Amino acid sequence: MTTSGSQDHIPMGAPTGADVDTRPQAVPATGAATGRAAALRARGARAAREYGPALGLYGAVKLIGFAVFMWLLEWSGEYLTKDHRFGGGVHPWDVLGGWDGWWYQQVAQNGYDPHLVPLVGQVWSYQQDSSAFFPLYPGLIRIVAACTGLGTYGAGMLVSVLASFAAAAGIYALTARLTDRRAGVIAAALWGVFPGSGAEWAVYSDSLFVALAVWACWFVLTRNWAAAGLTTFVAGLNRPTAAALVAAVGVAALIALHRRRDGVLGPLAAAVVSPLGMFGYIAWVGWRMGDLTGYFTLQRGAWLHFFDSGAHTLDVFEGVLLGHNGYLFAYPTEDLIAVLLVATLPVLLTLLIRLRPPVFLVVYTVVTVVLVLGSQQIFGNTSRYLLPAFPLFVPLAVALRRLSRPSLAVVLGTAAVASGWYAGYVLFELGIP
């Protein structure tokens, strides 16, 4: 005779419902830690497989270019003495912390004291002031120096090198999303051999800005509006050229709102938050100087750097093409290379548009180019100023992905050597008084 219910199938001696402890069982701490460690290892392995080829190739071409650059500095040591070397310094590598790098280190050590001090009888109408340099990069230098014991030079180099790899990873991820992984790997390497890439491993804020810009674009592409707005906000604390990124995020947000695909709050919040870093710092400098336009007055009067709607660029083109080198900041070889580079921009922009990328990427690229070519600055540095225009590398990467590995190695290796020569040549020419 049997009884009804679930107990018909319970083996003899097995605990009944009244005997079973149904309370949640605690996982041993060691087991939980082991599980977390295994999960982290798995994530690290996946990240290494995904980003390893791009970062490895970027690191390889950068090391080649950097070695050529340092060799040229060492070879030219008999000409660039301690007193005449670009930026000064006892050792050849000290040039990596010269000029802008010196200013960033001063901010890291001493902070800001914004003032407009008039000058009389000089090209510059105001004394140069460290508040022309945005605070994020020197702030990171100060933090890294305090945490590691490195000096401001070493801390700045560490921040720049790490940021350059973060930028290369972002360029890979963005390009791979738009095209394929092979093109993404090549695009990351192209960023490392661009003529102005010497600034990537120096006490300059370029690598940090590109890292923030490319990941902000990635967040927009993946519709992570909170991350896009916050990253753009932080980028605005690093360089004023974040205006191009702010414009891109704003356009992307407007398109998302028009299509009603991500709600209202996310895109709207990104558009509102993204410009606050850049405008906040500019407003703070103006408030401290007692002049709301103080930052722009300083840039124009102390560095002769201002937006002139392309008048200086046209002046340089006329000087280079007609042989008149009387314009301000004339460096014939660098200017010629910059002119050739600028001449390729319409082609690269056309090829980029033909790939049908998202509209915000085209906006970001075009505004970046307009800011570079529409401003009076050292025209020979155009290749450096165009480093943030990373979408231009996408069509080049798409074209180069058809090459075999040996052919690609020859192309990128040659370009790496050329980029190191260019960086060394520029410093050599500018270092001679």
CA-CA distance, 97 to 156, in Å (whole number)? Answer: 8
Alpha-carbon distance 60 to 66, whole Å?
Answer: 10
Q: Which residues contact 93 (CB under 8 A, 6 or more apart)?
A: 70, 73
The predicted pLDDT at position 330 comes to 65
| pLDDT score recorded for residue 17 | 41
356 Rama sector, left if φ>0, alpha if ψ -120 to 50, beta otherwise: left
Q: What gap in Å lies between CA 385 and CA 368, rounded to an integer?
A: 9
Token digits of residue 157:
């180099």
Chain center to CA of 38: 32
Q: Which pLDDT score, from 0 to 100, does residue 328 have?
A: 60
End-to-end alpha carbon distance in the chain = 110
Which DSSP string do the residues of 142-153 spell out, in sequence order?
HHHHHHH---HH
Question: How many CB atoms lie under 10 A from the CB of residue 99?
Answer: 16
The three-class DSSP label of residue 118 is: strand
> Which pTM value belongs to this model?
0.87
Residue 209, C-beta contacts closer than 8 angstroms, at least 6 positions apart: 235, 238, 239, 241, 242, 388
Token pair recorded at residue 40:
């982290």
Q: What is the pLDDT of residue 78?
A: 53
Would you say 377 and 312 are in contact if contact means Cβ atoms under 8 Å apart?
yes
Chunked mean pLDDT (size 10), the chain, 433 residues = 39 41 50 77 83 95 93 66 48 77 94 89 83 96 95 95 97 96 97 91 95 98 96 97 96 94 92 97 95 93 89 85 66 81 94 95 97 89 92 96 94 94 70 39
What integer pLDDT is reported at residue 217 of this predicted model?
97
Query: Residue 218 has which token pair?
Result: 């990635």
Q: What is the pLDDT of residue 198?
A: 87
The total of other beta-carbon atoms located within 10 Å of residue 422's CB is 24
